[in-house]
């Protein structure tokens, strides 16, 4: 399929890559925001509350725009999406970030494009990227992981294991949600998945309700707000549409840029130094992403 070709949901492959890039930019703030939030909230409450807040916003969107309920056949894949991106990834990363730094978590974010592509090709009638795609995808992942390992603290078996499980669940949720988005639409998929998880997440939020609110500082509240509105809902509006239009395996490689976008934002907003090595590795990653796009 050529890049200018129109997709069945009214967009082109270039539209898909554009939407995907916006999604990645939004997601680039997720792990630092989670790190801030777990300074004031327990991982269980953070996972539950962000899902409940986002589910309320999603329900309002579905109601205001008069969306029909998904078909019964769509419920199992929606449950997979909910398990992967509403419950699994937020909970496991929040738990992991109590053991490792957000810098070390970049090691595992570098594996997310490969995980997404893997799940994209496992389904019946799935995408079949060319062999060269896997070469460039693997090279990009190694660049990100190698750079992160040089910058991060030592390994922690618990934190690293939790992050690896989070990446696998997230890749599964991304791939399943993207396939479903071709029928339902991107924002509809994440909204219905959030609603599907909302009853259990509401019970969990009430069960893990903080004993006192006075000791929770502003950065923790800001982190909760970001992951609830942007990481849990707005980012997926762009991300799932991008994957659906541009191809799951190909557009998924944009996630390789996420660590560098996050570090760049930290340099811009927090005054942290931007190393020459970061610029060089980021340039290499851009080359890998462009090449993977060519062979996806």
Could you identify the residue written with the tokens 């807040």?
A: 53
Supply the pLDDT for residue 4.
Answer: 42
Domain, as residue range, for 122 = 6-209+216-295
Residue 6 is predicted with a pLDDT of 41
First to last CA, the chain: 10
Residue at token pair 């062999």: 131
Asked if residues 88 and 111 have their Cβ atoms less than 8 Å apart, the reply is: no
Task: Assess if residue 92 is contained within a domain.
Answer: yes
CA–CA distance, 98 with 149 (Å, rounded to integer): 18
Residue 1 inside a domain? The answer is no
Which pLDDT does position 79 carry in this prediction? 95
Per-residue buried b or exposed e for 258-280, using 16+ beta carbons within 10 Å of the residue's own CB: bbbbbbbebeeeeeeeeeeebee
Distance in angstroms (rounded) separating the CA atoms of residues 141 and 88: 22
Q: What is the pLDDT of residue 72?
A: 92
| pLDDT at residue 151 in the model | 65
Q: Say if CB 253 and CB 73 are below 8 A apart.
A: no
CA distance 66 to 58: 12
pLDDT of the residue at 291: 73
Q: Report the candidate in 36, 43, 33 with the shortest Cα–Cα distance to residue 229.
A: 33
Examine residue 244 and state whether it is found in any structural domain, yes or no: yes
Residue pLDDT tens, the chain, 296 long: 334 444 444 556 678 889 999 999 998 888 778 878 888 999 899 999 999 999 999 999 999 998 989 999 999 999 999 999 999 998 898 888 888 777 677 767 777 888 888 888 876 666 677 778 778 777 877 777 777 677 665 567 888 889 889 999 999 999 899 889 888 888 899 999 999 999 999 999 999 999 888 889 998 999 999 999 999 999 999 998 898 888 887 888 888 788 777 767 666 655 656 667 766 776 777 777 777 766 65
- Please tell me the total count of domains within the chain: 1
Find, among 292, 242, 287, 234, the residue nearest to 260 by Cα.
287
């Amino acid at each position: 399929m050529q890049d200018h070709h129109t997709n069945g949901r009214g967009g082109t492959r270039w539209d898909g890559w554009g939407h995907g890039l916006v999604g990645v930019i939004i997601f680039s703030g997720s792990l630092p925001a989670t790190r801030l939030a777990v300074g004031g909230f327990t991982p269980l409450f953070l996972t539950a509350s962000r899902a409940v807040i986002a589910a309320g916003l999603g329900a309002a969107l579905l109601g205001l725009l008069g969306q029909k309920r998904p078909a019964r056949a769509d419920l199992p894949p929606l449950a997979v999406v909910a398990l992967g991106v509403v419950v699994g990834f937020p909970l496991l990363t929040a738990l992991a970030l109590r053991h490792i730094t957000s810098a070390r978590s970049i090691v595992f974010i570098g594996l997310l494009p490969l995980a997404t592509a893997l799940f994209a090709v496992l389904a019946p009638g799935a995408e079949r990227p060319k062999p060269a795609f896997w070469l460039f995808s693997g090279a990009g992942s190694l660049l990100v992981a190698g750079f992160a390992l040089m910058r991060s603290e030592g390994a922690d078996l618990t934190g690293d294991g939790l992050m690896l499980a989070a990446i696998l669940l997230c890749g599964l949720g991304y791939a399943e949600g993207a396939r479903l988005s071709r029928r339902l639409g991107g924002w509809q998929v994440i909204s219905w998945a959030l609603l599907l998880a909302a009853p259990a997440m509401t019970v969990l939020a009430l069960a893990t309700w903080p004993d006192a609110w006075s000791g929770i500082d502003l950065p923790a509240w800001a982190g909760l707000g970001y992951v609830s509105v942007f990481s849990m809902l707005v980012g997926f509006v762009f991300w799932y549409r991008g994957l659906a239009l541009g191809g799951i395996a190909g557009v998924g490689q944009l996630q390789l840029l996420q660590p560098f976008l996050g570090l760049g934002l930290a340099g811009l907003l927090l005054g942290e130094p931007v190393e020459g090595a970061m610029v060089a590795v980021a340039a290499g990653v851009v080359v890998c992403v462009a090449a993977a796009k060519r062979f996806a």
